[in-house]
Amino acid sequence: MHTFEGLRSEFNSFVFENFVTAVEQDTLQAVFHYDIPGLECFKTRWHFPVSRTDYNKEILDRLLFSLGMAEAISYYKCACPKHFVINCGSLTASQARWWEKLFFNGLGEFLYVNKINTTMEELVLIEGTAKQEPIHDDTEYSGILVPVGGGKDSVVSLEVLKGEDITPYLLNGSVASEECAKLCESSNEPMRVRRILDKKIIEMNNRGYLNGHIPFSAVLAFSTVIAAYLNGKKYIALSNESSANESTVKGSKVNHQYSKSYEFETDFRCYISSLTDSDIYYFSLLRPLSELQIAHIFSKQKKYHPVFRSCNAGSKTGVWCCNCPKCLFVYIILSPFLSKEELVGIFGESLLDKPSMEKYFRELTDIDENKPFECVGTRSEVLASLRSFMRSGGSSLLTDRYRAHIEAQGEPIEGILSAWNEENGVPAELEDRVRAWIS
């Protein structure tokens, strides 16, 4: 098993060598090349649909370079070299600091799980000496790109935006994302984008090199801006909620969902504005809402119940694994709004009656200090959901066992369901659409 200190002493640099592009049959193919000298070379391939020919190649190159920087984290983490060397572009000093912050906070869970004690200043050094201004873009964009992962949140965004010019965005589309996109009644075909990671990184993981969670939503963010740019879309409407801002490790900034947080979202918009003054705008439509409010809205979207999947373990095959904290969380957050029969109809079994779920139950309900490293809601929302479930006559193995704790903790469900988070980036012209669903 390799250690952080040992790897950094042996492999001092990570090199972003270059990226090459080609457009064939209305598809942009981009290949990013990386090297950890003395260890291994890697490459990632991306395929984007292209519907416009009047794009500025310099703007596109800046966006692709930025995607390559975000994608680099997938390979950087296996050895965590101190120096990040760029051979295919340049950064200003403020942009370099931006990337150092993303590496540190985006790898927060990775550092915590691997027991790596370091600082943002020490983890990675990225040189930024260039002087550059945003490139002017006078293109008029229109329409809304909605990333769809197949879970309940993006379904709610699709329904809130029904009637607008929306295009579902599918990255390596799963069975669930394809089915949800089909049901949303958009007049536009889904935009399908492919990402192909180098299989060598899996071999490195198997050989004991460092491994763990990366800020994948940051990679997704840059890919959506490229897709919007190549296809003339104005808005990129994510489905990240206010609950994503809560840290996973209590009393720290370690957050599994850092790149879904409002802090990252605002940082990201600032970074894009340093590249171009394009009016493409990245935001989260559901940021004013909590997971509990989203679950309430989703509970009424019955046509999606047989096809949606929020389980990462079972997403590729379109099933609920019923053995992970994400499955348990979604079951709990829907429990105030759906009957036990409906929940079992979705999941196939009663997850609150499974003894094997007790560890995750304790983590979700603030009995154990840290939440699971998954995309789950706040501790308060989970407790409010369970109290509502119990007070409506619901009974289960786990709620009966921890009834006293559930009753004593958290805030009333009514307050959570009527809340509105003013700290959001939703465009004014769309804000009323979201408000209407909780009024």
- For a pLDDT cut of 90, what percent of the chain falls above it? 91
pLDDT at 67 over 80: yes
Crossing angle of helices 291-298/152-160, nearest 10°? 70
What the block records as the tokens of 310 is: 């929020």
Q: What are φ and ψ of residue 48, in 5° steps?
A: -120, 135
pLDDT at 424 over 90: yes
**212-268 per-position pLDDT tens digit:** 999 999 999 999 999 999 999 999 999 999 999 999 998 888 999 999 999 999 999
DSSP state, 134?
P
Contact (Cβ atoms closer than 8 angstroms) between residue 147 and residue 155: no
**121-136 per-position pLDDT tens digit:** 999 999 998 999 999 9
Q: What is the number of helices (H) and of strands (E) in the chain?
A: 19, 10
**133-188 per-position pLDDT tens digit:** 999 999 999 999 999 999 999 999 999 999 999 999 999 999 999 999 999 988 89
* Alpha-carbon span 179 to 159, nearest angstrom: 14
Q: What are φ and ψ of residue 262, in 5° steps?
A: -65, -35
**332-356 per-position pLDDT tens digit:** 999 999 999 999 999 999 999 999 9
pLDDT at 388 over 90: yes
- Helix, strand, or coil here: 122? helix
What average pLDDT does the structure give for the chain?
95
* DSSP per-residue codes, 204-252: HHHTT-------HHHHHHHHHHHHHHHHT--EEEE---GGGGS-SSTTS
- Helix, strand, or coil here: 178? helix
Angle value at C-alpha 345, between 315 and 298, nearest 5 degrees: 70
pTM: 0.96
Residue with tokens 């990129």: 236
Alpha helices by DSSP H, 42-84: 57-76
Tell me what pLDDT residue 155 has. Answer: 97
**347-383 per-position pLDDT tens digit:** 999 999 999 999 999 999 999 988 999 989 999 999 9
Tell me what pLDDT residue 248 has. Answer: 92
CA 388 to chain centre: 29
* Alpha-carbon span 376 to 380, nearest angstrom: 11
DSSP state, 243?
G
* DSSP per-residue codes, 327-345: HHHHHHHHTTTS-HHHHHH
**97-125 per-position pLDDT tens digit:** 999 999 999 999 999 999 999 999 999 99
Residue with tokens 């560890």: 359
Contact (Cβ atoms closer than 8 angstroms) between residue 34 and residue 15: yes
* Alpha-carbon span 55 to 48, nearest angstrom: 14
- Helix, strand, or coil here: 237? strand
- For a pLDDT cut of 70, what percent of the chain falls above it? 100
Across the range 13-19, mean pLDDT stands at 98
- In 3D, which of 127, 129, 114 has the Cα closest to residue 15? 127
